[in-house]
Amino acid sequence: MKQFYQYLIFLLLLLSTVAVAADQATTKAGAAQRVQLSLDDLRTFTDVFNQIRANYIEEVDDHTLMNAAIRGMLSELDPHSSYMEADEYRQLDNDARGRYSGIGVEVDIRDQRINVVAVMDDGAASRAGVVVGDIITSINQKSVHGQNLSTAINGLRGDAGTKVQVTFQHANGEVSEYTLVRDYVRVASVFSRPVDGDYGYFQITHFTRQSAEELQEQIEYMKKNIGGPLQGIVLDLRDNPGGVLNPAVLIADGFLDQGLIVYTKGRSANQLEYTAHPGQWLPGTPIVVLVNRNTASASEVLAGALQDHGRALIIGERTFGKGSVQSVLSLRNGAGIRLTTSRYYTPSGRSIQAEGIHPDVEIPLVDIVEDSDPGKREADLDRHLDGEPKTNVVTLTSEVSAADDYAMYQALILLKGARLLSPANGNRADAG
């Protein structure tokens, strides 16, 4: 039996043409040679495989061991290459589509209890009458008290069309058990609101295939509802981990008329290059982009393109620096691999990898402490002379509190300063 497994693993490796490539500067010209696995290397693999099967403290099936070997091979390359079994691979596609399969609730843990904090319209939970504030006590008749959040979420999610029994405790103490049919739930990636009258705030939490369409629709909706043109927008990419590249490129294109947006370089000859097309969503409208240390991947591509073209002012912290491209490759067993194949470069040729995007205006994390004793001014002194008030002084203020969101507050002040000093308004300054 042992010999059989040795030959089996050897045959699998041979049929799969498993090889490890290494670049070696073996000639003066630095030519790279491709080094294939030797028979001894394959024998070493089968020896380790069989030693684990025979001697590990607990029995592990061969399929699990093989998957572990594949995962290990990919994880040793870089932090972003990985193996995905069939269910993980399907979930990746759902993430890209901006959806998941579940009962349509958002949950959180409070006092070791799973609380419903949001209910999606037209989801299975909403149709059953679940409301915000309900507590999930069991999933498939198994108590969830004390479970961590990811375990509870995994219990609620599953393939579309499958059923799950969920018990809820309502605010009045009554308990209801529902058999809910999981279905796809759409997850929005863009959130917006008008601020200070005629300025727009747009937050992109991650990039799905619909993100560019969502942003364009919300820009058009806001333009119609504020009763005039937008005087400036804040594009918030803070804590955006990236996602699908194409919508980030489309958004950059929506704010540019021409020029390179991003390009990639790697070993393959089939590298990507994206350029902008004529026509903008908001021509001439000032843009400030908020970034922080968690702004990564596709969101860095967007910020870098707008920065290199001088189309937006980037403010905040230096970004994460995830500038590598992962190709998603399907396997014949329904699984897939995420493999790093190239690097991103901004229009000016900057590599994002490990360097990130440096903001034009750096705003580190700060805690705002309100001063309860601001001190005296001239007007507070006894017997001060009355002044002659100016009627043409513009004071830049915002409904956004600096204490609540300092970076956002600064972004709005910068936008208003740009508007004040624009040629349409004339350059002006007041001195005293």
Question: Which positions are catalytic?
Answer: 297, 308, 322
DSSP label at 243? B
CA dihedral 98, 188, 410, 322 (to 10 degrees): -10
Token pair in block for residue 28: 């003066």
Token pair in block for residue 41: 């290397």
How far, in Å, CA of 22 to CA of 24, rounded? 6
Query: How many other C-beta atoms lie within 10 A of the C-beta of residue 65?
Result: 17
CA dihedral 68, 73, 77, 80 (to 10 degrees): -40
Work out the end-to-end distance of the chain between its first and last CA atoms, rounded to an integer number of angstroms: 93
Alpha helices by DSSP H, listed for 56-120, are 62-75, 86-96
Pick from 328, 327, 325, 315: nearest CA to 353: 325
How far, in Å, CA of 126 to CA of 110, rounded? 21
How far, in Å, CA of 297 to CA of 274, rounded? 16
How far, in Å, CA of 137 to CA of 142, rounded? 8
Token pair in block for residue 384: 């001060």
What is the gyration radius of the CA atoms in the chain, in angstroms?
Answer: 28
Pick from 245, 239, 234, 258: nearest CA to 414: 234
Token pair in block for residue 196: 């200070």
Q: Could you tell me how far CA 55 lies from the centroid of its own chain? A: 43
Token pair in block for residue 333: 């067993």
Query: How many other C-beta atoms lie within 10 A of the C-beta of residue 173?
Result: 6
